[in-house]
């Protein structure tokens, strides 16, 4: 057996912090470029569709405000994505509970007079002409906190630890429900259940989780927390032929998608899109603009690109060298997969209208920044994981 001796000077130099400035250039080569390119392509495509869907019925009055702002959001999001990716995943893990506490505090503050109410929900802070939605960043804080907690469970959750997981999930979920923002609350629950299952839940615990989720949804729907329009959205999905509810939104969305046919009506030429008949088309219903103007080919191509992004996230998660990294990738994958499926599904009537934006496509600064930072968390598993496993690096 060969024993290699290191001098004390060499050992001390190897104990450098994992985010030294001199090491940053080497980390750039570990960034997953296909994932970065997919984010950029989907983000730029989203800007193009936002520009088309926000032109309005007057062709002489192009409303470039939304597309210009989304360009700024994408640029800032990409910067934050790289910043998060270059920070050691160990550092993020150590600060997980601080991030979680800060996000919960913001959710409390947004319910105070400091928050701003829009469309019946008090979910934003207003800073000049810009709005900040803390619930979007709560998803990220929740993912890293839950991953940090579950990674210490050794692949099996005891009863008390499962109860703790439920408390960790219940606090932000209830605060978001009180806004009320049912869509984001459901996303948080999907992330929680997925991460708990992957984190080592037993079969009987999984059955109990399912029953609790059904009871929680029943209590929510029967409570007075939901606004009238939110109840109508759910009623439309449950009973689409009912004459007692307003089905205008979903009808116009389905007409727009149906108009597209196979090849679409052409970019900027969608009859429903350019007439402004689809409500909130640049945000919640952005996929209807894709379907109408670019047809089945454009919609299918968009879905393929999005699925490729999800596949890269899953691949990097599998390559992660520790349980924490796999759980972070699981949380991000669950978040983006459910939001994409929900946002596309509600335009064709297979999912209820919940106001969930399509990640990277829909207009919204908070959604864009949070999505890019979530991708950065997964990219950081690649840079951080390889670096820590480097035989020349000693923690």
First to last CA, the chain: 25
Q: Per-residue pLDDT for the chain (395 aa), expressed as one digit of tens each?
A: 444 443 444 333 343 344 444 455 555 567 888 999 999 999 999 999 999 887 655 444 445 678 889 999 999 999 999 999 988 888 999 999 999 999 999 999 999 999 888 877 888 898 877 889 999 999 999 999 999 999 887 666 777 888 899 899 999 999 998 888 888 988 998 999 899 988 877 777 778 777 877 777 666 666 666 665 555 566 555 555 555 445 777 778 888 888 888 998 989 888 888 877 888 788 888 999 999 999 999 999 999 999 999 999 999 998 888 889 999 999 999 999 999 999 998 888 778 777 789 999 999 999 999 999 999 999 988 765 444 334 333 33
Rounded-to-integer distance, Cα 167 and Cα 299, Å: 39
Look up residue 363 and give its DSSP letter: S
Instruction: Please enumerate in sequence order all residues whose Cβ is within 8 A of that of 183, keeping only pairs 6 or more positions apart, or say none.
Output: 342, 354, 355, 356
Give CA angle at 122 (116, 124), nearest 5°. 55
pLDDT (0 to 100) of residue 17 = 43
Q: Are 213 and 193 in contact (CB under 8 A)?
A: yes
- The two most distant CA atoms of the chain are separated, in Å, by 82
Q: Can you name the residues that pair with 121 across neighbouring β-strands? A: 118
Alpha carbon separation from 364 to 48, 124, 266, 368 (Å, rounded): 14, 12, 25, 6
Rounded-to-integer distance, Cα 13 and Cα 193, Å: 43
**CB-facing half-sphere around the CA of 366: CA atoms within 13 A:** 20
pLDDT (0 to 100) of residue 56 = 57
Helices and strands, counts by H and E, the chain = 16, 3
Rounded-to-integer distance, Cα 277 and Cα 273, Å: 7
Burial of 379 (C-beta count, 10 Å sphere; 0-12/13-18/19+) = buried
Rounded-to-integer distance, Cα 315 and Cα 308, Å: 10
Classified as helix, coil or strand, 126 is strand
**CB-facing half-sphere around the CA of 329: CA atoms within 13 A:** 24
Rounded-to-integer distance, Cα 354 and Cα 362, Å: 14
Rounded-to-integer distance, Cα 335 and Cα 142, Å: 11
pLDDT (0 to 100) of residue 10 = 39
Sign of CA dihedral 68, 74, 77, 82: negative
Q: Enter the pTM of the model.
A: 0.84
Of 80, 89, 37, residue with least CA distance to 370? 80
Torsion region of 5: left, alpha or beta (phi above 0 gives left; psi -120 to 50 gives alpha): beta
pLDDT (0 to 100) of residue 256 = 86
């Amino acid at each position: 057996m060969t024993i290699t001796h290191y001098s004390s000077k060499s050992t001390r130099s190897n104990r450098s912090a994992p985010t030294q400035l001199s090491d940053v250039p080497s980390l750039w080569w570990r960034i997953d470029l296909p994932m970065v390119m997919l984010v950029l392509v989907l983000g730029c495509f989203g800007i193009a569709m936002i520009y088309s869907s926000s032109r309005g019925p007057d062709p002489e009055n192009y409303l470039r405000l939304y597309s210009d702002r989304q360009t700024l959001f994408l640029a800032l999001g990409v910067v934050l994505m790289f910043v998060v990716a270059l920070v050691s995943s160990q550092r993020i893990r150590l600060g997980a509970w601080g991030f979680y506490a800060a996000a919960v505090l913001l959710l409390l503050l947004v319910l105070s007079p400091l928050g701003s109410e829009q469309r019946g929900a008090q979910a934003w802070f207003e800073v000049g002409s810009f709005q900040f939605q803390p619930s979007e960043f709560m998803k990220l804080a929740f993912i890293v906190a839950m991953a940090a907690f579950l990674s210490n469970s050794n692949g099996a959750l005891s009863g008390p630890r499962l109860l703790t997981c439920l408390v960790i999930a219940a606090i932000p979920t209830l605060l978001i429900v009180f806004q009320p923002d049912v869509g984001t609350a459901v996303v948080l629950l999907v992330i929680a259940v997925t991460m708990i299952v992957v984190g080592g839940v037993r079969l009987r615990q999984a059955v109990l989780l399912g029953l609790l989720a059904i009871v929680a949804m029943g209590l929510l729907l029967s409570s007075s927390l939901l606004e009238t329009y939110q109840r109508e959205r759910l009623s439309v999905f449950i009973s689409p032929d009912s004459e007692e509810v307003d089905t205008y939104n979903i009808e116009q969305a389905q007409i727009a998608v149906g108009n597209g046919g196979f090849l679409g009506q052409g970019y900027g030429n969608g009859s429903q899109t350019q007439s402004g008949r689809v409500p909130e088309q640049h945000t919640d219903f952005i996929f209807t603009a894709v379907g109408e103007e670019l047809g089945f080919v454009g919609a299918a191509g968009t879905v393929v690109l999005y699925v490729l992004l999800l596949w890269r996230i899953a691949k990097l998660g599998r390559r992660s060298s520790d349980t924490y990294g796999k759980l972070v990738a699981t949380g991000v994958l669950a978040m983006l997969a459910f939001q994409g499926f929900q946002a596309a599904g509600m335009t064709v009537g297979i999912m209820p209208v919940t106001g969930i934006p399509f990640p990277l496509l829909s207009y919204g600064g908070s959604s864009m920044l949070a999505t890019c930072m979530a991708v950065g968390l997964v990219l950081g598993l690649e840079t951080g994981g390889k670096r820590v496993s480097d035989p020349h690096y000693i923690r």
